[in-house]
Amino acid sequence: MKPLNIGMIGYGFMGRTHSNGYRQANRFFDLEYQPVLKAVCARNEEKAKAFAEQQGYESIETDWRKLIARDDIDAVDVCTPNNLHKEISIAAAEAGKMVLCEKPLAMSVAEGIEMCEAVEKAGVANMVWYNYRRVPAVTLAKQLIDEGRLGKVFHYRANFLQDWTINADVPQGGAATWRLDAEAAGSGVTGDLLAHCIDTALWLNGDIEDVSAMTETFVKERVHAETGAKQPVTIDDACMFHCHFKNGSLGLFESTRYARGHKALYTLEVNGENASLRWDLHDLHRLEYFDHGDDSIVRGWRSVHVSDGDQPYMGNWWVPGLQIGYEHTFIHQVADFLKSLETGEPAHPNFRDALETQKVCDAVLASAKERCWKNI
């Protein structure tokens, strides 16, 4: 077993999902490399220590530059707010470290290009944590589409709906609510939620040609979590766009944090000439599938419980009928990354792939601002 020493920068919700992925991957997948939780970095020493103890990191740092400079770190995991992705990723690549970066890749396409150039120039392995590709039911959707079962695709539809920012008293900025602060996040639901939908869409249905979007900011002012000052809100609270895919199909996307009752309703549907499929994060182990080729007397939507060993990733888990969940998507992503180091075939989505998603996000925001169609 070859050790792969991980240095994680940031320690929030995503830090926990990734750490769990590093710990579990080798217990369920046959891999040459084994992650070692070497160090975690956070500005607050007490919090870094508590995280290291809980998750099993051997040491802590409070300055990310020191973590990157350490000889005993092979791969840097960037789990910070989005405004630090570029600086840290480029510094890590220049130090010869592999880089695993949280989504979205960057604050803008310009930043993303610099990041791609840095990892490619350094020749270091790189990956972006668009984890929903690794839900077995979504990977199965990709398999069915690639096998040509849907035929010509006409429609691609996706939503990502939440409701946690309806209360105007929710602050912006700070460790827990940086996602509402444009300075830290770059954008609102577009980069945070729609970016997932776009990544999956590009993977399942190919490139997008052009977009037309609208955004809204429902709560105009919020208190900053750290300074207490009331500030204008400049993120998009909701975003909708429609688009043309290069394969001729039409896309429709919606995301909001104001859909009362919805906590993380990520749904997607693809309608093809011969078949359709749909998936829902709240029921993530099921893939709904309609095949027009079925005998007409039994034709209808079938609900495939994705738990069989023949289905993607599932042969590594329990026995048919027993399902897995959200945390497994990160375990799969770690396993795929480790496998890529073995085979030399890049893991996806890498920085270059994530740049394509960034291009769509930037075009969506520009389209909404200028009220016109934007080419990608």
Query: Residue 74 burial by CB count (10 A; 0-12/13-18/19+): exposed, middle or buried?
Result: buried
- Based on CB atoms, which residue is closest to ligand 4PW, 61 or 102? 102
Site string for ligand 4PW, 150-169 (x = CB under 6 A): --------------------
Instruction: Say whether 7 sits in a helix, a strand or coil.
Output: strand
User: How far, in Å, CA of 94 to CA of 97, rounded?
Assistant: 7
- Based on CB atoms, which residue is closest to ligand 4PW, 200 or 276? 200
- Based on CB atoms, which residue is closest to ligand 4PW, 276 or 358? 358
Q: CB 21 → ligand 4PW: shortest distance, Å?
A: 14
Q: CB 264 → ligand 4PW: shortest distance, Å?
A: 5
Q: CB 120 → ligand 4PW: shortest distance, Å?
A: 25
Residue 33 tokens read as 């490399």
Number of residues forming the site for ligand 4PW (CB under 6 A) = 4
Q: State CA 255 to chain mean position distance.
A: 15
Helix extents (H) in the chain: 13-28, 45-55, 64-69, 85-94, 109-122, 136-146, 174-177, 182-185, 189, 195-205, 327-343, 351-370
User: How far, in Å, CA of 33 to CA of 267, rounded?
Assistant: 34
Radius of gyration of the chain (CA): 21
| Cis preceding-peptide flag for 349 (omega within 30 of 0) | yes
Site string for ligand 4PW, 187-206 (x = CB under 6 A): -----xx--x----------
- Based on CB atoms, which residue is closest to ligand 4PW, 192 or 237? 192
Contacts of 282 (CB under 8 A, 6+ apart): 264, 265
Q: CB 243 → ligand 4PW: shortest distance, Å?
A: 21
Residue nearest to ligand 4PW (CB): 192
- Based on CB atoms, which residue is closest to ligand 4PW, 86 or 196? 196
Q: CB 287 → ligand 4PW: shortest distance, Å?
A: 19
Q: For the segment 249-278, give every residue that binds ligand 4PW (CB under 6 A).
A: 264
Residue 241 tokens read as 């766009």
Q: For the segment 52-91, give every residue that binds ligand 4PW (CB under 6 A).
A: none
- Based on CB atoms, which residue is closest to ligand 4PW, 61 or 254? 254
- Based on CB atoms, which residue is closest to ligand 4PW, 55 or 162? 162
Contacts of 212 (CB under 8 A, 6+ apart): 241, 242, 243, 367, 372, 373, 374
- Based on CB atoms, which residue is closest to ligand 4PW, 168 or 264? 264
User: How far, in Å, CA of 75 to CA of 267, rounded?
Assistant: 33
E-strand ranges in 246-330 read 250-256, 265-272, 275-280, 286-291, 302-305
Q: CB 187 → ligand 4PW: shortest distance, Å?
A: 12
Q: CB 164 → ligand 4PW: shortest distance, Å?
A: 9
Q: CB 186 → ligand 4PW: shortest distance, Å?
A: 12
N residues, the chain: 376
Tokens 């096998």 correspond to what residue?
147
Residues near ligand 4PW, by CB under 6 A: 192-193, 196, 264
